[in-house]
Structure 1
């Protein structure tokens, strides 16, 4: 249903006259006293006391600033930063771009044995799956290879070797949302949680026994120490499984308990050294397809004498946008930053990629001198943007040919289908905003944000940004955000 709304929205934009950023304090024709009073009441309530709240609301048709509260105050955007990253990536890389991974070999094939090495050259594909590796194995087998005398070598040199953004908390590096960034990486699922493994914990048949733990995808590189114990039904209210990895290695320790009647418990954990992780899973995939590898796995650049075996391509960027924005995928965000740096500046680094984002944001109505960009995902507590600038960006990009795929990738309020609702599927249920708010959520410690598009009950189309910083109760803050949005849904931009 919302796809049809995108078409209407996009067609309506063709009639928009005038562009340009709107200065702070441009409140002509903004909300009535009743709207101001109701929002003031929300801001003065307990969840937001002591916090800082910025609100910016524009007409989607004219770009006119209809309402603002601290709209020009620099605040942490959390994952609303991904709106800038997505817009910059679509603008610079193009919605149809695909990320290419190359497989090469050296040496000759004699009697089913390759007397040389296999190289995998990463091209920044966040959507690489084990099924792709199986296709590679099938192609090698088709070329008559049953045994590889040499090594498996991963080339991740497209990006620099800085694996973590400047401000990633050390405690997040083992979590899926803090995975290492590499030009050669692997996803365990179609959410494209690149650089992570999924651990599936299943209770043993009898209490007292160790639980069974399966890793997806399986790999000889990752080791698991299992201390999870199965307990009787009703012995505890909920499972308390903890899976952790020490810095600098791939030995995971699982501890805690799981009840005998529990369903499988899944946890996503980031691996150390994504390129070697790909090689390890590929080696196992080769073995599953009847190809043995005599050598080791290591990283290095593809040799000039290497012969191309095949090239695989990711889905187009327009498709990757869906898990990126719907599920707020940090790894995709940071890979796109480095790809923009490589494509536009010749260097796959955060520094160069963020320069590209800053430039594109400036072209879309944001003030480049009034922002602090430290990463592409918003996980940094040093990122700073202004709510008025975010709504200016969201207004300007409506004219781009890639806007429909950007819009369609935004979470939809209260939509039960996971691929539609994304991070908003459990919010705004039973309200007038259900199915009428298309927005990016954001959350880091002390911060909650929500920015995007909404349609008021009057039919008026609005662009909004709510940035809330320095608060304590995330769940209560979500409710406050929703109350603010509902005020504009019910009253429109003019109150």
Structure 2
């Protein structure tokens, strides 16, 4: 063992304070403090097998299943496999399977669309008929997009609508949550409901969520101030919290009541305290998008008159398109999708593949497309179980050897540079470059070198991707830990990736 490393282990106890606003598989967009586990020695001598075997002796892995697979990127040769044929849960490594399938099926230039239509006609300044908003899966719609729709309608001479405002989300089915999503995860932004007509609160594009901010009141005893982004009346704030005296502890919880759009605020926030902020999912996001659009119309002076209602329905085939918008390309969407591990994007892509290939925007049809695409890469599909697109399911299964084989096979695809560019990059501080690896593997050999997808669920931690060794050998790796109860697996993963980065082949 290296004496300097041992001295560090004896004398150094350090904490990494990371300020992050990025989505993980089951994380929070909030300030968080991470205490590092015991430093992991990186073996410097011996064969590659020996070095990794030594790392897998770590006591943190006792009782867990650890699958490790390493291949040469040049020819796919399997260099190392420890339980690489065991079917394990991938967590957000599942997103790589979804991304590859979507790039093959839809292509990097594919865009989602949204249309605003009418079945009526303009008489004077009054639109005599219904106004339809037909969503086709775009997870990147923002309040400003609805503002632009409203401005364009105003420019067309529409000042009043004598008809209903109708949201059409029929591009996808009405199943909002993936099969295995835990019911107590559905309030958090990582478990947002999927609708073909939805809205995101900011440019992380967490569709179907709202940002809730809680600020202290003016004096102790006042109710805290609660703001929503975007502003909407679709949710009800139930403010049970209290402003307390200067210097007192802050303890604010922000929850959404299951099955409702009641946002429950509880706890205490001091007069001099900082805001509390959380992303919370919206129950039935189609209605949420409609409410925001209605506000955009009102801000442009366009009002619903008569007995007009806001409702959900189907756009008639003969309806006329008044305005529309196309999303960014999938190539651009893959940056927040993969770098920030956006679960909603994974599930939208599954449904879009089902709609594109089979004319049915459902999980069953989309996963059928994924199975068909993945089977084209000579994988053992009997060893792979696909249950969703994002990796939240504890029933997804794939062996590590199959992941590295897939990552080898796709290198010749025309769209491969798009896929590789979307992977998080170790140690790069820009969150849209480093993503979920921006605070990991910051050493000289790994920073900017390790490009890999992270994954995290309760009892599951995974890391799969690419790294180039000291002597220029590009390697493919998959490290998948399952069934552990406590502790962090990332130090072991990072040590294995460091071994690969620093290894010299004879």
Aligned-pair distance for 1:34? 4.2
Matched, 1:328 2:325: no
The number of aligned residues is: 461
Matched, 1:280 2:291: yes
Unpaired stretches in structure 1, ≥5 consecutive residues? 1-30
2:264 counterpart residue number: 253
Matched, 1:115 2:128: yes
Mapped to 2, the partners of 1:44 and 1:232 lie a distance apart of 51
- Once the two structures are overlaid, the 10-residue window that deviates more, 316-325 or 54-63, is 54-63
Mapped to 1, the partners of 2:58 and 2:45 lie a distance apart of 21
1:6 counterpart residue number: none
Q: 3-state DSSP class of the match of 2:433? A: helix
2:378 counterpart residue number: 365
2:224 counterpart residue number: 211
Is the 2:470–2:502 Cα contact (8 Å) retained in structure 1? yes
Residues 469-492 of structure 1: per-residue CA shift (max 9 Å, x gap): 011235x21111111111111115
1:332-351 map, 5 Å: 332-351=345-364
Mapped to 1, the partners of 2:471 and 2:269 lie a distance apart of 51
Is the 1:361–1:367 Cα contact (8 Å) retained in structure 2? no
Residues 392-445 of structure 1: per-residue CA shift (max 9 Å, x gap): 111111111111111111111111111111111111123521111111000000
Is the 2:215–2:274 Cα contact (8 Å) retained in structure 1? yes
Mapped to 2, the partners of 1:430 and 1:33 lie a distance apart of 21
Mapped to 1, the partners of 2:264 and 2:239 lie a distance apart of 6
Mapped to 2, the partners of 1:234 and 1:477 lie a distance apart of 37
Q: 3-state DSSP class of the match of 1:126? A: coil
- Residue 150 of structure 1, aligned match among 156, 163, 166: 163
Mapped to 2, the partners of 1:461 and 1:35 lie a distance apart of 14
2:252 counterpart residue number: 241
Matched, 1:265 2:281: no
Matched, 1:58 2:71: yes
2:9 counterpart residue number: none
Aligned-pair distance for 1:272? 0.8
Aligned-pair distance for 1:344? 1.0
Aligned-pair distance for 1:298? 1.1
1:483 counterpart residue number: 495
2:147 counterpart residue number: 134
Matched, 1:402 2:415: yes
* Residues 303 and 478 (structure 1), Cα distance of their counterparts in 2 relative to 1, 3 Å cut: same
- Residue 433 of structure 1, aligned match among 425, 446, 452: 446
2:184 counterpart residue number: 171
Is the 1:47–1:472 Cα contact (8 Å) retained in structure 2? no
Is the 2:118–2:321 Cα contact (8 Å) retained in structure 1? yes
- Once the two structures are overlaid, the 10-residue window that deviates more, 393-402 or 444-453, is 393-402
Q: 3-state DSSP class of the match of 1:198? A: strand
Aligned-pair distance for 1:200? 1.5
Q: 3-state DSSP class of the match of 1:241? A: strand
Aligned-pair distance for 1:177? 0.9
1:83-94 map, 5 Å: 83-94=96-107
Residues 52-108 of structure 1: per-residue CA shift (max 9 Å, x gap): 011111111111111111111100000000000000001100100111111101222
Q: 3-state DSSP class of the match of 2:298? A: helix
Aligned-pair distance for 1:232? 3.1
Aligned-pair distance for 1:291? 1.1
Mapped to 2, the partners of 1:387 and 1:32 lie a distance apart of 25
Q: 3-state DSSP class of the match of 1:103? A: strand
Mapped to 2, the partners of 1:467 and 1:359 lie a distance apart of 24
Mapped to 2, the partners of 1:60 and 1:34 lie a distance apart of 19
Mapped to 2, the partners of 1:347 and 1:367 lie a distance apart of 27
Aligned-pair distance for 1:33? 5.3
Mapped to 1, the partners of 2:55 and 2:407 lie a distance apart of 25
Mapped to 2, the partners of 1:232 and 1:481 lie a distance apart of 45
Normalising by structure 1, report the TM-score: 0.90
1:191 counterpart residue number: 204
Mapped to 1, the partners of 2:223 and 2:402 lie a distance apart of 54
Is the 1:43–1:49 Cα contact (8 Å) retained in structure 2? no
Q: 3-state DSSP class of the match of 1:99? A: strand
Aligned-pair distance for 1:356? 1.0
Unpaired stretches in structure 2, ≥5 consecutive residues? 1-43
2:13 counterpart residue number: none
Is the 1:156–1:275 Cα contact (8 Å) retained in structure 2? yes
Mapped to 2, the partners of 1:385 and 1:33 lie a distance apart of 30
Matched, 1:392 2:416: no
Aligned-pair distance for 1:115? 2.0
Mapped to 1, the partners of 2:165 and 2:483 lie a distance apart of 49
Matched, 1:74 2:74: no
Aligned-pair distance for 1:315? 0.3
Q: 3-state DSSP class of the match of 1:480? A: helix
Mapped to 1, the partners of 2:153 and 2:442 lie a distance apart of 51
Mapped to 2, the partners of 1:232 and 1:397 lie a distance apart of 59
Is the 2:235–2:261 Cα contact (8 Å) retained in structure 1? yes
- Once the two structures are overlaid, the 10-residue window that deviates more, 379-388 or 298-307, is 298-307
1:292-331 map, 5 Å: 292-294=303-305, 295-331=308-344
Mapped to 2, the partners of 1:411 and 1:240 lie a distance apart of 33
